[in-house]
Structure 1
Amino acid sequence: MPAEIYAPFEKFNFSNRNCFLTGTVLQSEEEKIQVFPQWLMSLYNLEDQPFKLLDESIATYKDLKIPCSAVVNDEYLEPLELEIAAAFAGGYEGVKALDEFKLFQWASKLLYGIVFNEIQSGIKMMHAQGEEFNISQAIIHKFSHLHLMLQSVNLPIHFEEFKPFSLFLFKGDNKPEEFGYRDEINTQTFALRIKDFGMVICLQDNNANFGYHHKIYNQLKDDVLHPIQFEEFSGKVFYSNYLFNRLPEYNILPVGEDVYIEDMPLRGISSKPLFDEWTNKTYGQVLENFWKNWGFLLLEIIKNPNEPMSFLFDADGNKISRESIDLPN
């Protein structure tokens, strides 16, 4: 018997009566886990910090929970959290030594947990207005695949010689107390800057963004980045993933008790490039948002429309050292 895959988007099941990961009927609606793990919230005193949802409502980090079977949590999710927590405790070197797929699973669980809360919030709001909740087929397509791959935590799911994500990891010169987190739900992009490292991950791009940025990443990956440099690189990745114009497709192959996922070629039948055209004005707007801590405005950033402001490279394309940047961390 092949492993039984749970597909919540088929019947649009987002109630608190079923485990988010397996669909198992729960003992009570109180059987839940935190989206942001307790160990991470405790490290940065996040519990009562505000977290803004897409409908503009404000929750706190500790409010974000998902229904989860105690058995699933004990057997699969808690061991993953312990492994990630131990790696993060070791800083950059600890995270670098971790299996990338563990980071992918962990980031997927966190982002999917936010998606679950967003959907529940949207359903409640639309029902209160007497309307049906609608979500685009493209978004369902992405989130369904994210949930499928997340089940590699608890099921014998194997990826056939491909990586469903892009991961960028850097050493960072961060304030010890700072929790630098951002996500983009629609593109499934996630960035975290804490301790002495920063990471950016695109969860459903089949490593396409890594290919797009590999030249710059190879130049920077061994350097210690100033926070503004990490935010600049993050801005590039968030923007390029917005420009990524494919919806990856997969073959699902049950073999005995296992399930193999095989990626379909991203190029498919389209001759169009994988990424839409980069425009510096839009990129500048992204940077303005990512550089809020330092107060740079769009007009400054794209003063030269052909060469937006950069703290990574000078006008001649040479790397800018962290030590030469005269800005607060």
Structure 2
Amino acid sequence: MWAQIYSPFERFNFSNNKCFLSGEPLNSEEEKIQVFPQWLMSRYSLEDKPFKLLDESMATYKDLKLPCTAAINEQFLEPLEIEIAAAFDAGYEAVKQLDELKLFQWAGKLLYGIIFNEIQSGIKLQHSQGEEFNMSQAIIHKFSHLHLMLQSLNLPIELDGFKPFSLVLFKVDNSEDIFGYRDEINTLTFSLRIKDFGLIICLQDNGANASYHQAALDKIKSQTLHPVQFEEVNARFFYSAYLFNRLPEYNILPVEDIIYIEAMPLRGTSTKPLFDDWVPKVYGQVLENFWKNWGFLLFEIIKKPEEPMSFLFDADGNTISAASIELPR
């Protein structure tokens, strides 16, 4: 008999008495893990820092937890955390050697943990107002497929000739002890800038965003970036993830004791491009948000409306060296 995939979105079970990953019942509601792993919180003193949820309520990083059986944690999650922590501690070169699937699983577990907490918070709020909790079918589609891919951690799942994600990693000339974390749960986009590297993952696009930015990535992939340059790449990915207009579909094929997951073509039967039109002014607004640390305002960024300001490329499309940028790190 093949391993059973757990689908929490079918019955919308987000209680604290079932393991988030396997659906197995817990021995007690105290059987939980941290969403942001303890090693990361300790390293950057995050435990008591505020974390704003979508309903505008405030939590702290240490408040965000996931119900998880001790067996799942000890067998699958802790070994992953140990490997990721060691690589992150060593920096860019060690992170570069990691299996991309493991980075995806690690980031995916973290982002799904935030989603889980957001859903729990939303259910409580709606019920307190005497209303049923509702979520759009498109969002359920994305979240449930992320959860499916996460089960490659604990089930014999084989991704058949595709990656469900785009992942880019850069060496970045960061200041010491920087902790730059961003996410966008509606587009399932994740970004982390620490130590001497920056990492961006679009968790549910089958590689489409990396392909979309391939020409730019080819020019800068071997460079060490200034933080303002990395945040520009970040803005490009977060904006294109918003423009991405497909919901990836998959075939699940159990064969003996292995579950094969096959990606359906993103184009499908639609003649519409995979991405909606890139609007420079809107991109400029995104960029302003990512460049807050340097104080750039929208009117500066879009002084030339069709050519927003860039620290990656000059007016002729040539790459700009990080060493030539005179801004604080």
Which TM-score band applies after superposition, normalised by the shorter structure? over 0.9
| Aligned match of 1:130 | 130
* CA positional deviation for 1:90: 1.6
Write the mapping of 1:214-253 to structure 2, written as runs, cut at 5 A: 214-253=214-253
CA distance in 2, matches of 1:124, 1:298: 38
**What is the letter of the counterpart of residue 147 of structure 1?**
H
Secondary structure of the structure 2 residue equivalent to 1:87: helix
* CA positional deviation for 1:87: 1.1
* CA positional deviation for 1:25: 0.7
CA distance in 2, matches of 1:54, 1:175: 30
Q: Which runs of 4+ in 1 moved over 6 A?
A: none
| Aligned match of 2:61 | 61
Measured against aligned partners, the alpha-carbon deviations of 1:33-53 in whole angstroms (never above 9, x if no partner) come to 000000111110010111111
* CA positional deviation for 1:219: 0.9
Residue 117 (structure 2) pairs with residue 120 (structure 1): no
CA distance in 2, matches of 1:269, 1:206: 17
**What is the letter of the counterpart of residue 134 of structure 1?**
N
| Aligned match of 2:13 | 13
CA distance in 1, matches of 2:45, 2:181: 14
Secondary structure of the structure 2 residue equivalent to 1:124: helix
RMSD over equivalenced CA pairs, Å: 0.6
| Aligned match of 1:183 | 183
How does the TM-score come out when normalised to structure 2? 0.99
Which residues of structure 1 form unaligned runs of 5+? none
Write the mapping of 1:221-300 to structure 2, written as runs, cut at 5 A: 221-300=221-300
- Taking only the aligned residue pairs, the percentage that are identical comes to 74
Aligned residues: 329
* CA positional deviation for 1:317: 0.9
Write the mapping of 1:16-165 to structure 2, written as runs, cut at 5 A: 16-165=16-165
Secondary structure of the structure 2 residue equivalent to 1:141: helix
**What is the letter of the counterpart of residue 108 of structure 2?**
S
CA distance in 1, matches of 2:33, 2:328: 37
* CA positional deviation for 1:318: 1.1
| Aligned match of 1:3 | 3
* CA positional deviation for 1:280: 0.4
Measured against aligned partners, the alpha-carbon deviations of 1:265-287 in whole angstroms (never above 9, x if no partner) come to 00000000000000001100100
**What is the letter of the counterpart of residue 37 of structure 1?**
P
Measured against aligned partners, the alpha-carbon deviations of 1:79-120 in whole angstroms (never above 9, x if no partner) come to 010111111112000100000000010011000000000000
CA distance in 2, matches of 1:57, 1:173: 34
**What is the letter of the counterpart of residue 207 of structure 2?**
N
